[in-house]
Amino acid sequence: MTRKRSVTIYSEDEKDAIRAQKDRPQARQRCPVCGTLGLRRYYSMVEGRTRPSIASLAWCPNCHTYTGSTGPALGRVVVTDPVKDDPNAPKDSGSQEAMDKYLSFLDRLWDAGRLPQRIVRGDIGS
């Protein structure tokens, strides 16, 4: 498996392939683009218009193909957020280069054991 030259967003068919694996442990989820096992995820709490939300990012550590979404927290709380706590975390400017740097940063956190995160049920004002 070779790494792609630039990051891309998963197509709708590729997202469907990821969703079809939702019952597998994360380490057993396969990238639909390059076949690498172990899709990675990062979650962060964000303030929605009326209630807290969770933003999620799923990516392949090999080819850096990714997808993201935001939805209601529904009583879930992200317990740790190593990106929020790190003043050196890269900011996403919307460019492919910036996203590749961001995903590489998340990969380093993953390799250092600071990701994946724990998400628990809790009272967050819903």
| Per-residue model confidence (pLDDT) at position 124 | 45
> Backbone phi, then psi, for 116, in 5-degree steps?
-75, 170
* Of 5-14, 40-49, 59-68, 90-99, the least confident: 90-99
| Per-residue model confidence (pLDDT) at position 122 | 64
The pLDDT of residue 126 is above 50? no
The pLDDT of residue 4 is above 70? no
Q: Which of 21, 28, 25, 77 shows the shortest CA–CA distance to 54? A: 77
The DSSP line for 29-53 is PBPTTT--B--EEEEEEEE-SSSEE
- For the chain, the distance separating the N- and C-terminal CA atoms, rounded to the nearest angstrom, is 44
Of 10 and 120, the one with more pLDDT: 10
What predicted TM-score, i.e. pTM, was given to this entire model?
0.84
